[in-house]
Structure 1
Amino acid sequence: MNFKDKFSKEEKRVNTDDPTMSDLLSTYLQEWLPPSKDIVIACIGTDRSTGDSFGPLVGSMLHDHALETFHIYGTLEKPLHALNLKERLAEIRKNHPNPYILAIDACLGKSSSVGSVVLGKGSLNPGSALKKDLPPVGQLHISGMVNVSGFMEHVVLQNTRLHVVMQMAAKVAAAIQLTEAKRKQVHMETKPFHTFTTSSTNFKKSIQ
């Protein structure tokens, strides 16, 4: 659970109530994610808190689909949270040398921002809303604004409506699935050309 009270030019903001939210978020992801790299998605949070379950919910929704260009860490069954974050990040780096990480986490902020999803460049600081000292995560991040900050954050998280978190998680997961389809299409369009040029080079060598 991180904290956000200001927005920058290095961020894209969409609202859960917008019927085009998943399409918009997918467009932004497609623009900002490196096309030629597999992406690790680190879904941070815990199923023990309604408000902080946003990340694991997204992870579980994505885990049910066969994604080819994304690797998912953090689900309701195997959450990625404060107690195991350092260990799991070491595991990610072992499995994916020099990984490009998209971090997903719930966020507390101003009341006017609740229901918004923010895509930002750079890392996020999980646990900052609860004053926890955890390592920053990600080259890119998605923050889901689930509730307001400022007073008794633990209680606020426990009393966040599950409907709000579920709706937000479903739309973010849908956006990532749309992005997966776009990335696969790009790979299909570029791979035949690569295969053709490689075959042509081999043919030229064989007749020399």
Structure 2
Amino acid sequence: MNLKPKFLNIVNESTRVSYDDGHAINSLATKLLSSLPQDIQQPIVFVCIGTDRSTGDSLGPLVGSKLEEKNLTHFHVYGTLEDPIHAVNLKDKLIEINNAYRNPFIIGIDACLGKLNSVGYISIGDGPVKPGAGVNKELPAVGDIHMTGIVNVSGFMEFFVLQNTRLHIVMSMAKTIATAINEAHNQYSLKELSSRFLR
């Protein structure tokens, strides 16, 4: 779990949309697709950060599990409810990923806390997420780009806030994010297929 994007010192053209916006999936998929590397040979890896032991911090592994069910052929997914990526194993998982893939393009996915009127918003933009920043943990930054979901309000007793976040909103946000990624994957797969015919 990290703090809202303004605390990450990221300056970019990001897309920010509420999970229940009718255009959310298309907006997120379009932004994701435009952010992926032009080289279709570069591995695309999603690192979904969080833990199933905290409702608010379960956004990442929920997304990871939903993506795993879709059997994406061109995207690689790490961090699920069964095998979460969290503070204890994050460094080891990043080493594992970099050993498994040559020059992977990493998308970090994590929950974050923000203002009350921003709860339910999903952002995608350039630069990494900083896991643990919202609860004062020093962990490695993750991702060439990031996707974050504001699950609750920041500013006071963050651990308690995360534990008392509504599961409904986290599940709904996870569904929107995973559906958007799946849509981007389908379009990316078509791009990869067409490039084969041009070789």
Q: Same fold (TM over 0.5)?
A: yes
1:184 aligns with 2:189: yes
Q: Does 1:4 align with 2:7?
A: no
Q: Which residue of 2 aligns with 1:97?
A: 102
Q: How does 1:34-73 map to 2 (within 5 A)?
A: 34-35=37-38, 36=40, 37-73=42-78
Amino acid at match of 1:25: L
- Per-residue displacement from partner, 1:26-58 (whole Å, max 9, x unpaired)? 011111111412210000000000000000000
Structure 2 partner of 1:205: none
* 1:87 aligned residue (87, 92, 111): 92
Q: Deviations over 1:119-164 (max 9, x none)?
A: 0101110000000000101000001000010000000000000000
| Distance change in 2, residues 1:78/1:5 (3 Å) | closer
RMSD: 1.1
Say whether residues 1:24 and 2:21 are aligned partners.
no
| Residue-pair matches, total | 194
Q: Would you identify which runs of 4 or more consecutive aligned residues in structure 1 move more than 4 Å?
A: none
Q: What is the CA–CA distance in structure 1 between the aligned matches of 2:35 and 2:124, rounded to whole Å?
A: 10
Question: Does structure 2 conserve the Cα–Cα contact (< 8 Å) formed by 1:5 and 1:110?
Answer: no
Report sequence identity in percent: 51
1:122 aligns with 2:127: yes
Q: Corresponding residue for 2:160?
A: 155
Letter in 2 for 1:29: L
1:106 is paired with a residue of what secondary structure? strand
1:78 aligns to 2:78 (yes or no): no
In the superposition, the TM-score normalised over structure 2's length comes to 0.94
TM-score by length of 1: 0.90
Higher-Rg structure is 1
Q: Which runs of 5+ in 2 are unaligned?
A: none
